Amino acid sequence: MGDFTDNITVRDAAAELGVTKARVDQYIRDGKLTVAATAGGLRWLNRKAVAAFKAVRTSKPGPKPGAKRTRKKK
């Protein structure tokens, strides 16, 4: 990741994705997002990679927000 001008913190990535920091940590553990750490322990994510992940994550087909779920009758 070289210099950190194009990177954001885990907290900023969470805000960008509309999720919690814990969820971003889970994405990192699952290998869905990669992180670079500084010698001081700060973790940074590439801004473009987060935006690309957000685009893929939000473009998956599924029920629209607020849509009612229907169950099949037995």
Class for the domain spanning 7-57: mainly alpha
Q: Which residue type sits at 56?
A: V
pLDDT at residue 66 in the model: 66
Q: What is the pTM of this model?
A: 0.70
User: Given a cut of 60, is residue 67 above it in pLDDT?
Assistant: yes
> In whole angstroms, how far apart are CA 70 and each of 18, 23, 58, 73?
26, 28, 22, 9
pLDDT at residue 39 in the model: 87
> pLDDT digits over 4-60, tens only?
678 999 999 999 999 999 999 999 999 999 999 888 888 999 999 999 999 888 765
Each domain of the chain, given as residue ranges in start order, spans 7-57
User: Given a cut of 80, is residue 2 above it in pLDDT?
Assistant: no
pLDDT at residue 1 in the model: 45
pLDDT at residue 63 in the model: 63
Residue with tokens 């920091």: 21
Rounded CA-CA distance 41/6 in Å is 18
